[in-house]
Structure 1
């Protein structure tokens, strides 16, 4: 009976972990989808609207707007996406699988305390 209950609890924890990981990856997928759609919108609105123009200045300004928005917005989203993915891997995955808080209380290093401890008999 005890083994069955233990296995049932382990199964529930495993399923909840799988759902949690799937939701986490879905957030990353949503950022990728937004990145793709924004790139398409920037291309259509900034470049395609000016590329058929007869004016070289209009084409240059259109390209400058396209380059600036693409570089600024999409690069920011990519940096955010990479940061969130790394944070998810370190915090959620690593902490849940390997980290156990069964150590001792953290005391920051102090030269004064080290010298004081070494001078005591």
Structure 2
């Protein structure tokens, strides 16, 4: 195990720590939305406004959490973790199709 391997493992740990930080940020955003909604609960109109703040704030938080979980986990899988097991050997993909350099187009449409 060389110096490159140690820095690679440290990089992986920091990448997973970033996902932990995103989880903590989700909790903080939820707490802020609860505090904001609680600040306006003075009367009936404030209570209705607080319900709107709860709903919009938490829907935003869930949406951002789902998006960040998808993006950051995909980045970890495909960029950092995938190259540990994938070797670039093999042969080029050649699909099963007719390989032509030019195509003749015939107009079979009739004008009405």
Task: Report the TM-score when normalising by structure 2.
Answer: 0.74
Q: Does 1:37 align with 2:24?
A: no
User: Does structure 1 retain, via aligned residues, the 8 Å contact 2:36–2:53?
Assistant: no
Q: Does 1:111 align with 2:100?
A: no
Aligned-partner SS, 1:112: coil
Where has structure 1 moved over 6 Å in runs of 4 or more? none
Q: In the aligned structure 2, how far is the partner of 1:77 from the partner of 1:18?
A: 28
The count of corresponding residues between Structure 1 and Structure 2 is 99
Q: In the aligned structure 1, how far is the partner of 2:81 from the partner of 2:11?
A: 10
Q: In the aligned structure 1, how far is the partner of 2:30 from the partner of 2:11?
A: 29
Match runs of 1:18-33 below 5 Å: 18-33=9-24
Q: In the aligned structure 2, how far is the partner of 1:54 from the partner of 1:75?
A: 28
User: Does structure 2 retain, via aligned residues, the 8 Å contact 1:39–1:70?
Assistant: yes
Which residue of the partner structure matches residue 117 of structure 1? Answer: none
* Alpha-carbon distance, 1:24 to partner: 0.3
Structure whose residues are more often helix by fraction: 1
User: Which of 31, 35, 49 in structure 1 is aligned with 2:39?
Assistant: 49
Match runs of 1:66-85 below 5 Å: 66-72=54-60, 74-83=61-70, 84-85=72-73
* Alpha-carbon distance, 1:99 to partner: 0.5
* Alpha-carbon distance, 1:110 to partner: 4.7
User: Does structure 2 retain, via aligned residues, the 8 Å contact 1:50–1:59?
Assistant: yes
Which residue of the partner structure matches residue 15 of structure 1? Answer: 6
Q: In the aligned structure 2, how far is the partner of 1:89 from the partner of 1:82?
A: 12
